[in-house]
Amino acid sequence: MCGIAGFYTREKLAEKKNILKRMNDKLSHRGPDGEGFYSDDLISFSHKRLAIIDLNERSNQPFKDKENNYILTFNGEIYNYIEIKNLLIERGFSFNTTSDTEVLLNSYIYWGEKLLQKIKGMFAFAIYDKKKKKIFCARDHFGQKPFFYYFKDGNFIFSSEVKSIKHYLKEIEINHSSVDEFFARRFIPAPNTIYKNIKKLDKNTILELDLSQNIYTCKKYNKSINKKIIKKTNYKKEIKRKIEETVEKHLIADVPISLMLSGGVDSSILAKVCKDIGADITSYTLATQKDKLNPDQDYLYAKLVSKKLDIKNKFIYVDKVKDFEIIDIIKYLDDPYCDPAFISSAILLKEISKNYKVALSGDGADELFYGYHSYQKIASQKFPLKNKLDLSYLYLFSFRIKKIINYFEKNYKNNYTYNYYGVPLNVLSKIFKREINLNPPLPNNPNQENSRNYDLDVNLPDYYLNRLDKAGMKNSVEVR
């Protein structure tokens, strides 16, 4: 896990290297173990490194091939890099490092964009392809790693964080449609940010900048999924096998790995699998002093799981968070974001960072296995009639009024935004005195399946995974 940045411009910048250095400095928390730079007449790339695999300086970035035709700056992990490396060796490639970085670059050299059908991991990267005179960028399939970019007047700028891009720009404007998105969802989904012209590269997306024509295009690469029919009698064994296989790959690192143990089902399963495959892992749980006397369910389960599995677990007790601590935490957010769990995650990961660079998390399992209660609520037909009552202002002050408004509203958009985000869309429109149009649009006639798929497409990458990336990187911890 690292921080990446760079830009392409035909302008004659007297301080190009200094600008790149200052952009990179804004990402210091993402990679305290090293930094690197590449710059020529057109392209400037930088990198902040958090060393996880192949700790040697030979794997520092930006990473070049032997002929200096391809330059890579890469944030993330490729979990199946050993298998891909063996395939490339069979095809005549040789390697000077034991890193996944070199594997990623050689994969591009051999397969081009088809490499995205082969790699498994979390990633955001940019490759300067001198032969084809282009910059090739991509973000992982689920959107675990961030990639922000700006393109205007022939200038292309990218980074792991908006604050780094803002350092390059002389002026920026607020995107008011993104403000609507924030109040409706509590976050801003890709491809937009709170600023005009600064975009998020969506998950599962390629961005190519043609340096000859000075234009860029974005397209989905749609990683092919091999569907497999499993007999009902075998599906539990198959799911167990896939989880064990995945966890084992996530444990590949040249540094020790920890676990964020909440006491919930997902992190408890991770703890059990780690124990079963013989991983020496320490788990961390956030709690309060009150939990010692009057423990809640999560606290009890975390204690029970760690005792049952005989794993080392550290409870981090936090009762109060001071104002200046909250300010210090939220300044690492690039966009408006409303989830108190970001603060608790950052506090927990700060403790983890004292001994570990990597932490496993169970986030994403609810989306895969239909774990949220909201799926059942959204699919329910128990919200009849239509809303003719203008109770939108009272909604802000009374939970009962909230329930009444929702009860008399049949429109699925209001149902969805109420049950998932907490605010019926019609109420927000009345408060703002204008129609609120969400982009991406909400699923039509939502049921459990398309609501889950919408989660995977929109809510997971820019709400839940965004929280983990920012909270982890604030503390120089890679969250897997």
What pLDDT score does 294 carry? 86
Per residue in 56-75, pLDDT tens? 999 999 999 999 999 999 99
Q: Is the pLDDT of residue 391 over 70?
A: no
Average pLDDT, rounded, for the chain: 89
Q: Is the pLDDT of residue 236 over 90?
A: no
* Dihedrals phi, psi of 58, to nearest 5 degrees: -65, -20
Residue 375's pLDDT band, with cuts at 50, 70 and 90, is confident
Average pLDDT over residues 228-255: 88
Neighbours of 64 (CB within 10 A): 14
Residue 91's pLDDT band, with cuts at 50, 70 and 90, is very high
Residue 370's pLDDT band, with cuts at 50, 70 and 90, is confident
Q: Is the pLDDT of residue 469 over 90?
A: yes
Residue 357's pLDDT band, with cuts at 50, 70 and 90, is very high
Per residue in 168-186, pLDDT tens? 898 899 999 999 999 999 9
Residue 385's pLDDT band, with cuts at 50, 70 and 90, is very low
What pLDDT score does 401 carry? 53
What pLDDT score does 232 carry? 72
Residue 6's pLDDT band, with cuts at 50, 70 and 90, is very high
Q: What percent of the chain has pLDDT over 90?
A: 67
Residue 377's pLDDT band, with cuts at 50, 70 and 90, is low
Q: Is the pLDDT of residue 387 over 50?
A: no
**Segment among 63-77, 338-352, 366-380 with least mean pLDDT:** 366-380
Average pLDDT over residues 417-424: 74
Average pLDDT over residues 433-454: 83
Indicate which residue of 2, 137, 218, 274 is catalytic: 2
Per residue in 15-51, pLDDT tens? 888 999 999 999 999 999 999 999 998 999 999 999 9
Q: Is the pLDDT of residue 446 over 90?
A: no
Residue 148's pLDDT band, with cuts at 50, 70 and 90, is very high
Tell me whether residue 2 is one of the annotated catalytic residues.
Answer: yes
Q: Is the pLDDT of residue 117 over 90?
A: yes
What pLDDT score does 380 carry? 60
What pLDDT score does 442 carry? 85
Per residue in 282-326, pLDDT tens? 999 999 988 888 888 889 999 999 999 999 999 999 988 988 889
Residue 403's pLDDT band, with cuts at 50, 70 and 90, is low
pTM value is 0.91
